Amino acid sequence: MGVVEEVGPGVVSIKKGDRVVLPFNIGCGFCFNCTRQFTNACLTVNPKHHGGGFGYSGMGPFRGQAEFLQVPFADFNCLKLPGTPGDELEDDFVLLADILPTAYHASEQAHVVPGDTVAIFGAGPVGLLSAMCARLKGAAEAYVVDSVPARLALVKNVQGAIAVDYSKGDPVKQILELRKPHREQVQNLRPGSGDKMPGVMCGIDAVGYESHGNASPGRTQQPNQIIENLIQLVNPTGHIGIIGVYFPQDPRGVDENEKQGRFTLSLGMAWDKGISIEMGQAPVKRYNVYLRDLIIAGLVKPSMIVSHRLPLEAAPDAYQKFDTRSDGYTKVLLKPGLKAASLN
């Protein structure tokens, strides 16, 4: 996000001085995928693969996280913002670059509609904002699972969401237990619903392959843990959205299968339940204009997850702390030009 310094000769709608935010994935606007709003899989910006993005491995030659940024196809990619740098919506607008549209996409992948019951694994930035988006769409129940106290504490900022600490026991069993009163009050009014649909209708994986095993919070990695939890927990005819990342190759995978991006999952149970599973990178541009307008209207306040605002020079240390989730590092905003003395 920033203010335009200079425009190239082919740019028609953006001018010097415009305040803009950019999707992390870059689209051309005219390829088969971009024209269908799948800007996450643009076919022309990255010579080697489908999909291009700023500063992300395998997504082309574009750099990010710098004071100045060159924007390909600026007319298509820039989202104009009102106001001026440093105003009261700055920390909300910057989250339009990735996390807020990503979280909204997770709720789309999981088919959340009004009155739904939703379980979200991971209370990082994506999980917390997925809960916010699920509630925005009218979810009746939202459970958010993690084990990091500072992150679980933020769940209460999402109206009506319930924090579930998986270090205190199997999170699937905890959510089934928490749902009991709702089942007794509402679902039992419909024959069969209470006992045959004890779980949730929508599940979101906001953790990805870095998930820890249920029995080892913060310690042993178990990449299939979240998908397994969701297949157990989601009701027949429900939906799972996998917004957390899984790589096609991982040299640090624990065995040959994981090195090749192959994970075991209870496909039989998922099939038997008729669960839909959607996954992949968020097409940020599909949603960012509407989400910007919701921020301006005061209906969403995604900056509630921001824990630190730091100068660019503090990035290496901040990444290290974010990686270990230490010192309450939930979401860090890097602000070029910010004086080290004004750290919080």
φ and ψ at 208, to 5 degrees? 90, -165
Task: Find which of Zn ion, ligand NAD, none residue 178 binds, CB within 5 to 8 Å per kind.
Answer: none
Asked if 211 is part of the footprint of ligand NAD (rule: CB under 6 A), the reply reads yes
- DSSP at 321: H
φ and ψ at 264, to 5 degrees? -85, 145
Question: Which tokens go with 122?
Answer: 């991971």
Task: Find which of ligand NAD, Zn ion, none residue 107 binds, CB within 5 to 8 Å per kind.
Answer: none
Among residues 41, 175, 243, 291, the one that binds ligand NAD under rule CB under 6 A? 243
* 25 C-beta neighbours (distance < 10 Å), count: 29
Among residues 19, 137, 212, 286, the one that binds ligand NAD under rule CB under 6 A? 212
Stretch touching Zn ion by CB under 5 A, among 26-34, 68-76, 194-202, 330-338: 26-34
Of the pair 28, 100, the CB lying nearest Zn ion is at 28
CB 258 within 8 A of CB 241: no
CB 344 within 8 A of CB 309: yes
Distance CA 97, CA 86 (A): 17
Asked if 240 is part of the footprint of ligand NAD (rule: CB under 6 A), the reply reads no
Among residues 79, 95, 123, 163, the one that binds ligand NAD under rule CB under 6 A? 123
Task: Find which of ligand NAD, Zn ion, none residue 122 binds, CB within 5 to 8 Å per kind.
Answer: ligand NAD
SS3 letters across 157-170: HCCCEEEEEHHHCC
CB 51 within 8 A of CB 26: no
x-marked contacts with ligand NAD along 137-176 as a string, rule CB under 6 A:
--------xxxx--x--------------x----------
x-marked contacts with ligand NAD along 274-313 as a string, rule CB under 6 A:
-------xx-------------------------------
Asked if 102 is part of the footprint of ligand NAD (rule: CB under 6 A), the reply reads yes
Distances (CA, A) of 264 to 22, 215, 228, 253, 319: 36, 18, 9, 13, 30
Buried-state track 178-216, b at ≥16 Cβ within 10 A, e below 16: ebeeebeeebeeeeeebeebbbbbbbbbbbbbebbebee
Residue 17: CB minimum distance to ligand NAD, A:
30
Binding site for ligand NAD (CB under 6 A): 98, 102, 121-127, 145-148, 151, 166, 206-208, 211-212, 214, 225-226, 243-245, 281-282, 325
